[in-house]
Structure formats: structure tokens, C-alpha cells
Structure 1
Amino acid sequence: MAAVTVTSTRASTLSVCYLLLMTLFSGRGGHAFSLMNFLCNNGSSYGMNTTYHTNVVTLLASLSANASRSAVGFATATVGSAPDQQAYGLALCRGDINGSSCASCLAQARDVAFGNCTGVRDTSIFYDRCLLRYSDKDFLADPGDAAASVQFGRNNVNVTVDPGRFVALAADLVGALTGWAAQNSTKRFAAGVVTSGEGFPTTMSDLVRTIYGLVQCTPNLAPPSCQACLDQLRDDMPTEFTGTAGGQVNGVWCNLRFEIFRFYDSSPVVNLAAPLAPPPAPAEQSRSGTRGSGNAATVIAIVLGVLLAILVSVFIICFWRTAQSKQYAEEDGDAGSLLFDLTTLRRATSNFAEENKLGHGGFGAVYKGLLPDGRQIAVKKLDKASGQGIKELRNELLLVAKLRHNNLAKLLGVCLKGEEKLLLLDWDTRYRIIYGTARGLLYLHEDSQIKIIHRDLKASNVLLDADMTPKISDFGLARLFSGDKTTTITSQVVGTLGYMAPEYAVLGHLSVKLDVYSFGVLVLEIVAGRRNTDACFESADDESGTLLSYAWDLWSKGTPLESMDPSMDCQAPESEVLKCIHLGLLCVQENPADRPTMLDVLVMLHGHASSFPAPSKPAFAFAYGVLSSSRSYGVSGGPGTQLGGAAVPSVNGMSESEFQPR
């Protein structure tokens, strides 16, 4: 159920209503990555519960991490020891993108591989900014014919006049770029441009005078091998691309692309000027007349050519600057706000009626409503004493506007199915919610352009669309990190009691392991169908009586499945339920270093529970304002104790969840 989120705030003399046009994003694509081709070699297949699948998941995680951190954007790896279960892989990112974009592109390639080539042992995914291949055959040992098994893609714009000369110019550009990439670039990468004075008419525009090109080999190819690979691709251009105004050849070891628009981010290292097309043969003249007119024509041609080149260069620069300005304006517009009058919002929500109240977040209440055009909306009405003003609200919008993931709520929509309704779902749906939430957190922690710790992950902040796809929402408390830094100490401890890790709640130690802890609590809640802080849990050795202590007691007794929701479908596979309980307990361990990363969590969800490490005792932190744990955090006094600048919260003053009875 898609919706729109509206946020309003009041000043002493002015009422301003902000519409956060928030619609649920239906597909991945935080960056403008384009899927060019994918190849599922159907020679053999594998099952989802096999060792080979686990090895592939581990392999792809390793490739993404290593390639995104590599100076050349490239990585190879091998996982597994048994001959029939080994997985070999290669990842390459385009030479002009940064590590964050590299990781995001490879994450999308991974999802396409699992979604479009499910169970296929040999898979290749080609994006415009990265490529990914894995196989059960050792293709890394010897590239062999590096240009073999390539995929061709063609532009849907056609050259209407002299298409042979157009593709010849593109091939000349590729040839020049090939020499540069093979001999002068450690990334084996080069981009450039060729301009033609007279231009080429196409089906898209009157004249195209500029052709942009790019070539790349894997950095492990020696210069002669890179040269030979790209030369083979170039030789195919007249056959494959005559008549089309652009195209690409995607190979594992080398690739090329040419277009009539600039599609790369780096500065061109090759800049060619095409010779003018040969004029028609002149009528026969006397020797003296021919010599005199020939000299004059040469001078005129040179002067006109120089002037035309200058004009084209100025046009290209102006066009590029205009396009860049438009792009930045559109990006800022994504996070922009549209003003709505308060009357419209009052009518949509029946004057913020209590029966339309969905819940209460960190900075105010959220109400459902209906706009005159039929759009369902959620209106967030900020509390006067919330502490969030216009500046903080705009910062939140700018943050969320930069996030694009299938499991994150996108600006322009929320789902009105949430809260405890997810606790009444069948097991398959619950498992998809667990898996999707894990993917969303992995994107925040490792794959997004900016590293983010959510800080308030809980059941009411995982929204569901009409297809029951989970969307992580409410980034009002999120913390951003630049570079590789993902830990800090804060004096402002905010969040929801029962979901806060003890090292954060007591000492203010903030890291990605806080979100991991919250995720573990959420997993156990989904399995049990009950909230962590329900007061009806029986615990052998923990006074707080939380779901964590209850699940740990059952685990210690060897009966963990007793924590499973009795109303759940009896067909729920015990192995999957047990795996999720095991995973949840690993995520809520007392020592942050013992908790898995979200990448580890995804690997575990694809693997067998028998390979999981044994969990240690959870941290039973702040269920009812009391920290009950074997580890000493130096806490004395009651709730609200100050320690090291970090306030130990006694009540949930920053974020409150309201649940409706089942």
C-alpha cells in the first residue's frame, strides 16, 4: 500500500507544512547503474541449501569488499576446498567510479545474479559501471581467448547518413583508447572523444558531431593481452554496429563502449579530430588553374575547420555545464519540499483525528490520511518540544533522498501495514521480512554512498508494501559517517528501550553493531510473535523477563523452538526457524565484537545453521530501566544515571511505539 509522508512543524509566528513526497521505491538503483547484459550459462545448476551456494555467497561478499577497496577496482577470489563445491569469481568496477559506487554496483549485480540466474553455477552480470562473474570452473587460471563469450548491446538511435564512416570513426577512437589503456593505465582503462566537423544525421537529432568512447581490461592482463583482447572487439565493430549510433561489447576480461552522449565521469585522455569527408571529384581544369584553386581551397578548409572546432568545443563545454547544473538541481529537488496548506492536511486526516493516528515517532505523531486526488498519505506532525526544527528536518530529507534500495522507505511513500500485524503472518512472509531487513541494513552499513547507522531499528520502523516487502523507515535518529569510520562516542543517547545495545545505552559507544543488536531483537520478535518488553516472559536467571532472556533460557535447555509463535503455520520448516533463533541470539550477544556484521548475517541466512558459531549470553539491557548483565559497565544508581557524558535513559523519551492489540 503506497503512501505519501507529510511532515509539519510550527514556529511561534508561522505554521509551515512540509510534504516529504515519499513513495516506495520498487527496485534497486541508488546510483544510475544500468544493467547491460547478463549471461546464465545453463550447463549445471545447484540448490539453495548446498555448500556451493554458501561458497558463492561468501565469494560475492569478498569480491565486493575487496574490489571496492582496491586502487584499481578489481578483485578475484576462490572459496571452498572440495573440487565440486569450489566457487571462483571476478569483480571489476569501471575505472572512473569511487569505492562506494563500486560496492553499490556490485551489490546490484549480486542481486541480479541471484534473481535472474537462480541456481546457475556459471553466471556473468554486466552493468555499465561494473561486472561480476562466478563459476564452478577455474576460469581465473588462464584467460585463454580473453575476447571470447562477449555480449553485444546496441543503441536504439540510428545513423541515417554515411553510417559506415560513423562506425569507422568510433573504431578509430577505440583503437587510440586501446593503446592508452594497455600501455599507460594501471587500471587498464581509458576514455576519450572524437569530433567530426560536418557531423552525422541520426534518428534522434539533426547532427551528431561528437562520439564518446571507453575501453577497459581487467588490471591483471599484461599490456599485450589487453591490447589483443580489445583489438578483437574493435575488429567486430563494423559488423555489429554499422548503422547504430552507439553500443557496447561486454566481456569478462575486456570491454568497450561508444555513444553520442557523455556516459563516463573521467576526463578524456584521448581527443581526436576527424578529417573532413572527401569532397566530390572536381571537373578537369588546366594545371595552373588547378594549382591556384587547390591552394585557396586548402587555406579556406583549414580556417573553417579551426573555427568549427572552436565553436564545437565551446558548445560542448556549455552543454556539459548546463547538464551538470540540471543534474544537481534535480538531486537537490529530490529532497526538496512542497508546501501544503494546513487546511488540506486537516481535511486529509480528519483534523488529525485519534482514530487516524498510526503511531508516535521520535519527534511527533504520525497520522494516516487521504488527499483529494486519492493518494493515501502519512502526516508526521512534529511536537513543539521535540527539538527537531526546520534545519534538522531538512537534514533528514537530504539523507533519505540519497538512499535507494528496495528495502528502504524512499521519499514519497510509506506502507500502512506495520506494527504487530507482521506478527500474524505465515512463516514464509516472516522469513522474507527478516531477509529484506538484513539487506536494507547491509546497504546502509556497507553499500550506500554514505555509511549510516539507523539507531532506531524496531518493528514499527519496518514497514511493508502491498507485496509484503519490508522497508526500513524513520531516519530521524540516523547517524552518518564519512570514509571508513563507523564508530564514535556520543553524549546524546537516543532510541527505543529494548532495542538499544548496552554499550550504546550506557557508555554512548555508537557503531554498526548497535543496528545488529536491534536487528537481533527484531528477529526474535518475529519468530516469537511477541515484543521484547512484554511482561509475561518467564526467565530462570534474569529479573527483567525479556524475550531475550526467555529465548536464551530455552536455547540453554536445548528447546529453542518453544519460543516460536504457536499461531504460526505448522508447516514452518523447523530448520529455518531454528536458524533464525540462532542468528538472533548471535546478534544480541553482550560483547559487540562477538556480534556478526550484516554481511555475515546475509551469508548466514543463505547457509546452514550447523556452521554458525555458538552464541554467548545476550545483554539484557534496559527492558524496564534496569541493566541486567554479567558484564560490568560501571553503572550505579537508578535509571537516568550519567556516565561519561552519555545519558542512560530512564524512559523512552525519543522514540515510542504504540501497538494495537491482536
Structure 2
Amino acid sequence: MATRVLLSSKVILALVLASLFSLPRHGRALELMNWSCNNGSAYAANTTYDTNVHSILATLTARTPNTTTGFATATTGRGTDTEAWGLALCRGDTDRVGCASCLAAVPAVAFNECRGDMDVTVFYDRCLARFSYVDFTARPDNTEVLIGSPSADRITADAGHFDALVADLAGALADWAAYNSTLRYAAGVMTSGDGFMSTTEDMVHNIYGVVQCTPDQAAAACRACLEALRVDMPKVFAGKMGGRFNAVWCNLRYETFVFFDGDPSVKLVAPPVVPEDGMNFASSSPENAAAVVGAVLGALVILLSLFIIYLWKKLQAKQLSYAADKDVDSGSLLFDLAIIRKATANFAEHNKLGHGGFGAVYKGFLPDVGEIAVKRLDRTSGQGLEQLRNELLLVAKLRHNNLAKLLGVCIKGDEKLLVYEFLPNRSLDTILFDPQKREQLSWETRYQIIHGTARGLLYLHEDSQIKIIHRDLKASNVLLDSNMNPKISDFGLARLFSGTKTTSITSQVVGTLGYMAPEYAVLGHLSVKVDVYSFGILVLEIVTGRRNTDVFDADEESSNLLSYVWDHWQKGIPLEITDTLLLLSGSRGLQDMELLKCVHIGLLCVQENPADRPTMLSVLVMLQDIDTTNFAAPSKPAFTFANVRNTTSSSPSAAALSANEVSISEFHPR
């Protein structure tokens, strides 16, 4: 029998946000299904078990995508009372990149929603992962972690027949997965010519389903596991348009829309519904035949009417969608200027949060929205309108928990405004580089900011519908919410890449000095590795608590941040670059390992050759990996300079940079 889980409003909100986490290349969002926390067991932070479970998930994230089956198990701490076991499985239609991206999202749920629990399972639509302090891998008990989640929408007529077709489809899929697939995976469709009316007022003709077992199971064991789920279906999903059993050893899902990739391995056609008395035209009397003909014609008229209504609604929806797309291009999500003026007290000085290259940013309040942040284009800015349009077009299409949410735009006369969600902790630079405020940034918080920023960049580079290069990632463009979760902002300079194109050459270099990769700053070569370079600079700033533009003391051997970090790395004393506030903290074991790992990752990201820099997916995997011995050794980074007195701006590098349109950041609140 399936375990029914009642979700609190907080959990439901987390599910909604997590469902927006990632958008794989095929265009469907990575969806967080559910999670299970065993509250009967607990562990403390920075303990051996804490280290072990982090190591387990890192190992599974690195290993699972590279297996032929998308399945892996792992154990660590063998023979001790802190031993941990883990398992990961990716859905059979998920490629290696999608598998790795999905598993990279698991720790954010496991170590936040289930913080301190020793037995945790996380279910995404494309992968699942579990770790525990007991060896659950030795006894495949599918009822141990089993969550049944029915759809909210129902079939309004002949639900029993619909349920029977779902059961038939599930049985056929179970047979195929057990006896025809080495992955123990099957996807299929059941087509009904009669169709079913639903509460969404759509006529349902197709039912889509997926089943999967862990591929280490024998065929008979897999079939028995899936049959147990099929038997439980009427108890949980009766009359529902969709449903899923999230479980570790085998799982099942069906919907009335396509949710898997590739062609279905099972295609079934439902037989037409036969009247209960079995009447047919050959055996019935003329009177009965006439009655049947009349009934059939009446039914056809009704069906035709419903079909016309259906087509009309679809046409309206398509027109609305088309209109929405056109509106985004011409400036939709429009706010009235009078409303924005009232919300910001007519852009009062006391509501001003800061001023950047785009213009001023003001705090405001809207009754139906809450607190907002309004970016106001400087009227004297020559490039602002094009940047505003670019930002609107990009951000309106992006949905991710680590990207700042655009609420709308206002363009009237000389006023050009972007309205964003308000993030109370403003931008990272206002805290990180403030001697008093940066005490708020413990190492745990800084690591959370690094990890979240990496997730946001991975979404832009790999998982959004269009590949996006930010081009201006820096501390002032990383905003922080009330829980210090990072959100990347300012997409005015972003560049889109379509199809398989991954690089280009631009004649207009834009960005911020100190964060720009050498191949981009000097030659205009643009690729995702430009953002990776900026991310590396940001990581080193977070670790050291110093700006990349800081001038180091004259007695130092290096003159800029990269030289400073590289000198200490070569001398074997990289932890000495750490922000002194972090050195004063209590427990140093796990913190020092993570600090050293972040310095290593930061140096890899700022390598002079773009090919030597990791992708953001590799960065996320490394951030979760406890063992850094398999990391590549960094070479001397780009833009490292010795401390030479009387240096002038007449050097070749300075001359090359001066011709480009770059911005100098103003470090003020946003």
C-alpha cells in the first residue's frame, strides 16, 4: 500500500520553486516530485557521518551518468558506526548531461529540507537518490520508501473504463521493462478512440506511461515489483488523470500528456466501447436499429460540438500565447507609470537602493505583489534602451530559483523601468566587501552562495531553452534573498546562442574589468567559458573577502588578486589567503577542506586557455566531491602581474583594453 504524504504550504512552495530549477535541452523543466526524510534518526553538522553522506552524493553524481544503465550504488566509512550507503538512478530516457544535472540538484533538497536526517530520499522526474545509515541496498524493499501522488484533475465520465486502460498500459509496460529492456525501463501510450471528458474540459484520447526498475534486478523481481504498484493503483489514483508512485526499487507514472523523451516502446489502442446489451444492427429489429442510429447520430452531434469547442479553446490559447510572445517583444508585463511612482514615493531618495551602470535602483511596494525593486534607466544613458529590451526578452523567458525574477516593465516617455522581486539583502558586494557587514557571511553561507551561483550559471549555459552567456557576472550582480540564497541579476549584456553554436567573435566587448576573461577582453572571443572565468574570480573574492581590483601592499610579491592567490598556491599555503573572519571560526576540519577545494576550483576557472577551464556542470560535481585528488592541477592563471612600481597604463594590455566598451563597477547598494 502506498504511503500518502500530506505536504505543508512551505513544502508545497519548495516543490514549486524546485520544479523551476532546471530546464533540460529538450525543453521540459526538471521537476522535483517529492522527498522523504527519516525523522527518527539524526546527525550533526561537521561530523564524520555528515562528511560521509556528502561524499556519497558526490560519488553518485560523478559515477551514475557514466554508467551504461544510469544506475549506481556507493558506500563509505565501511565497518564504522558512521557508515553510509547510497543509490542513484536516472530515468531511462535521460542522457548523461541530463542525468548529471538532475543528480547535481539533489543535495540542495537533501541538506536543506532534510537537514540532519540520516535517511533521505529525493525524487526528481528524471532521477532519484537515497542515502542511509543502514544498508538498504542489501534488501530491495520497495515499500520502505513509497510515495503515491495523484493528479488533482479527474475524469468526469466513465472513470472506471479510464482506470482499466491505465492498468492495462501499466501491465504492458511492466512486461516490456522486465523482459525486453536491459535498462528495466519502458515508456508507452494507450490511445482511445472514444475519449474521456476531464475536469479541465479537454477530451482525453491518449494516456502516457513510464515504468522503471533498478537495472540490477532480475526480470521476475522487476515484474513482481511493478505488479505490486499496479495493484495499488485503484486505491490511490481512481479516476485521476495522472498519478505516480515514487519509490526506490521500481516506480510508475502515467499522465494524459507526453512527459518522456523518444518514441514509446509500447503502443496500445483501446477497443471501442460496446453497449452493455451487446446490441448490433444485424441482429436487432428495424425499430431498435432506428433507435440505435438515432442515438449514435445524437452522440456524434454532441461529440462534434465538444470537438468544435475544444478546437476553439485551443485556438484561443494559441492566440493568447502568440500575443504574449509578441507582447514580450514589444514590452509586455506592463506596469503603469503612475503605479510605480506611487510604489516608490515618486522615486524618493530614501527609497534609493543604489546606482549602477544601468541607472538607479529604488525600493517600492505594490499591494498585490509586496516589496519590489525598480531599475530606472538614466535618461542620459545612450545604450540603456537596447539593454533594457535585451534584459526583458531574456529574463521574461527564464525561471530558476537562482535567477532574479522579473515582474514587469514600464516604458513611458523618457521613463524606462524594470520591476524585479525585492531581495532584502541586496547584492553580495555590499556585504562581502564591508568590514562590518561581512561578519554575516559565515563559511557555510559563502559556500551556499558559491553553490547557488553555479547552479544558476549551469541553467543559463545548459538547461534553459536557449544557451545564454551572461557576460557580466560579478559580486554586484549576485543578489541575496532573506535566507542568503544567491540570485543572478542584470541580463542587459547577456548574449544568446541558438542551436549547436557555442562560440562567436564580437567587435563590441562589454563587461567589467577584472571579471573579463583574456580571450574575450583582448580578442572578443565569446563562449560559456567567459562566464566560467568570471565565476572563478567571484569564488576567489568570496574566499578572500577582497575585491579583484584591490591594490596589494608594496611588500607583497603580487599586485592583484590572481597573483596573490597563485603565489600562495605555489608555496603550498593556499589557506593563508582566507578571509581572516573565517579563520576565527570554530570547527575548521570540513571548512578547511571546502576552502581548499574552492581555491582549487577558482584557479581552474581562471586558466588562460578556455579549454582548460571546467564547465559549470563539472564545477557543480566538484563542489560536491569530498576527494579533490582527482581534480586537474591548475597552471598559472591569466592576468597575473608581479608587483612593479611606477606601472603606467601605456602597456600593450592596457591599450588593448582601453578600446573596448567596459564598465567600472560602482560598489553601492542595489
- How big is the shift at 1:381? 0.8
Residues 117 and 533 of structure 1: CA distance in aligned 2, closer, same or farther (over 3 Å): same
Tell me which amino acid in the other structure corresponds to 1:154: P
Give the equivalent residue in structure 1 for 2:441.
426
- How big is the shift at 1:245? 5.7
Tell me which amino acid in the other structure corresponds to 1:445: H
Contact 1:181 1:190 (C-alpha < 8 Å) held by counterparts: no
Q: 1:211-226 maps to which residues of 2 (within 5 A)?
A: 212-217=207-212
Contact 2:390 2:491 (C-alpha < 8 Å) held by counterparts: no
Residues 244 and 559 of structure 1: CA distance in aligned 2, closer, same or farther (over 3 Å): closer
**C-alpha deviations, 1:107-146, integer Å up to 9, x for none?**
555533443455767754334x423235589999x99898
Correspondence 1:657 to 2:665: yes
- Choose between structure 1 and 2 for higher RCO, CA contacts under 8 A separated by at least 6 residues: 1
Give the equivalent residue in structure 2 for 1:190.
188
Give the distance between the partners of 1:590 and 1:319, measured in 2 at CA: 55
Which of 556, 580, 584 is 2:602 aligned to? Answer: 584
Which of 32, 35, 39 is 1:38 aligned to? Answer: 35
Give the equivalent residue in structure 1 for 2:639.
620
Give the distance between the partners of 2:548 and 2:380, measured in 1 at CA: 30
Contact 2:351 2:364 (C-alpha < 8 Å) held by counterparts: no
Correspondence 1:534 to 2:533: no
SS of the counterpart of 1:50?
helix
Which of 121, 127, 131 is 2:127 aligned to? Answer: 131
- How big is the shift at 1:90? 1.4
Contact 1:582 1:609 (C-alpha < 8 Å) held by counterparts: no
Tell me which amino acid in the other structure corresponds to 2:517: A
Give the distance between the partners of 2:144 and 2:581, measured in 1 at CA: 55
SS of the counterpart of 1:443?
helix
Correspondence 1:92 to 2:91: yes
Deviates more, 1:316-325 or 1:131-140: 131-140
Give the equivalent residue in structure 2 for 1:3.
none
Contiguous gaps of at least 5 residues in structure 1: 1-24, 282-287, 629-634, 642-647
Contact 1:493 1:649 (C-alpha < 8 Å) held by counterparts: no
Contact 1:422 1:526 (C-alpha < 8 Å) held by counterparts: yes
Give the equivalent residue in structure 2 for 1:547.
561
Give the distance between the partners of 1:262 and 1:322, measured in 2 at CA: 20
SS of the counterpart of 1:237?
helix
- How big is the shift at 1:56? 1.9
SS of the counterpart of 2:546?
coil
Residues 81 and 487 of structure 1: CA distance in aligned 2, closer, same or farther (over 3 Å): farther
- How big is the shift at 1:275? 1.2
Residues 262 and 637 of structure 1: CA distance in aligned 2, closer, same or farther (over 3 Å): same
SS of the counterpart of 2:513?
coil
Residues 376 and 110 of structure 1: CA distance in aligned 2, closer, same or farther (over 3 Å): closer
Give the equivalent residue in structure 1 for 2:524.
508
Tell me which amino acid in the other structure corresponds to 1:657: S
Contact 2:37 2:121 (C-alpha < 8 Å) held by counterparts: yes
SS of the counterpart of 2:403?
coil
Contiguous gaps of at least 5 residues in structure 2: 1-15, 24-28, 408-420
Correspondence 1:443 to 2:446: no
- How big is the shift at 1:502? 2.0
Contact 1:173 1:193 (C-alpha < 8 Å) held by counterparts: no
- How big is the shift at 1:497? 0.9
Tell me which amino acid in the other structure corresponds to 2:355: G
Give the distance between the partners of 1:130 and 1:291, measured in 2 at CA: 57
SS of the counterpart of 1:394?
helix
Tell me which amino acid in the other structure corresponds to 1:616: S
Give the distance between the partners of 1:399 and 1:454, measured in 2 at CA: 10
- TM-score normalised per structure 2: 0.72
Residues 307 and 289 of structure 1: CA distance in aligned 2, closer, same or farther (over 3 Å): same
Residues 110 and 376 of structure 1: CA distance in aligned 2, closer, same or farther (over 3 Å): closer
Residues 190 and 254 of structure 1: CA distance in aligned 2, closer, same or farther (over 3 Å): farther
Contact 1:147 1:232 (C-alpha < 8 Å) held by counterparts: no
Tell me which amino acid in the other structure corresponds to 2:128: L
Deviates more, 1:328-337 or 1:480-489: 328-337
Residues 45 and 332 of structure 1: CA distance in aligned 2, closer, same or farther (over 3 Å): farther
Q: 1:206-605 maps to which residues of 2 (within 5 A)?
A: 212-217=207-212, 230-242=226-238, 246-252=242-248, 255-258=251-254, 262=257, 264=259, 269-272=267-270, 274-275=272-273, 278=276, 291-304=285-298, 313-326=307-320, 336-339=331-334, 348=344, 356=352, 358-361=354-357, 364-370=358-364, 375-382=371-378, 384=380, 386-387=382-383, 389-390=385-386, 393-412=388-407, 413-415=421-423, 417-418=426-427, 419-423=429-433, 424=438, 425-427=440-442, 428-483=444-499, 485-538=501-554, 540-542=556-558, 545-567=559-581, 570-571=584-585, 573-574=587-588, 575=592, 576-605=594-623
**C-alpha deviations, 1:363-402, integer Å up to 9, x for none?**
x322324367574433231565543544x53333222222
Give the distance between the partners of 2:89 and 2:602, measured in 1 at CA: 32
Contact 1:445 1:452 (C-alpha < 8 Å) held by counterparts: yes
Coordinate RMSD, CA, aligned: 4.9
Residues 251 and 316 of structure 1: CA distance in aligned 2, closer, same or farther (over 3 Å): farther
Residues 184 and 365 of structure 1: CA distance in aligned 2, closer, same or farther (over 3 Å): same
Contact 1:453 1:480 (C-alpha < 8 Å) held by counterparts: yes
- How big is the shift at 1:33? 5.2
SS of the counterpart of 1:188?
strand
Identical residues among aligned pairs (%): 45
Give the distance between the partners of 1:312 and 1:474, measured in 2 at CA: 47
Which of 136, 148, 155 is 1:152 aligned to? Answer: 148
Contact 1:539 1:553 (C-alpha < 8 Å) held by counterparts: no
Contact 2:508 2:660 (C-alpha < 8 Å) held by counterparts: no
Contact 1:40 1:122 (C-alpha < 8 Å) held by counterparts: yes
- How big is the shift at 1:546? 0.9
Residues 213 and 595 of structure 1: CA distance in aligned 2, closer, same or farther (over 3 Å): closer
Tell me which amino acid in the other structure corresponds to 1:426: L
SS of the counterpart of 1:495?
coil
Residues 622 and 356 of structure 1: CA distance in aligned 2, closer, same or farther (over 3 Å): farther
Deviates more, 1:214-223 or 1:425-434: 214-223
Residues 492 and 54 of structure 1: CA distance in aligned 2, closer, same or farther (over 3 Å): farther
- How big is the shift at 1:189? 1.0
Give the distance between the partners of 2:662 and 2:218, measured in 1 at CA: 58
- How big is the shift at 1:308? 5.3
Tell me which amino acid in the other structure corresponds to 2:362: K
- How big is the shift at 1:407? 1.7
Residues 602 and 75 of structure 1: CA distance in aligned 2, closer, same or farther (over 3 Å): same
- How big is the shift at 1:474? 1.0
Give the distance between the partners of 1:245 and 1:567, measured in 2 at CA: 55
Residues 211 and 153 of structure 1: CA distance in aligned 2, closer, same or farther (over 3 Å): farther
**C-alpha deviations, 1:279-305, integer Å up to 9, x for none?**
699xxxxxx997444444454455555
Give the distance between the partners of 1:495 and 1:461, measured in 2 at CA: 12
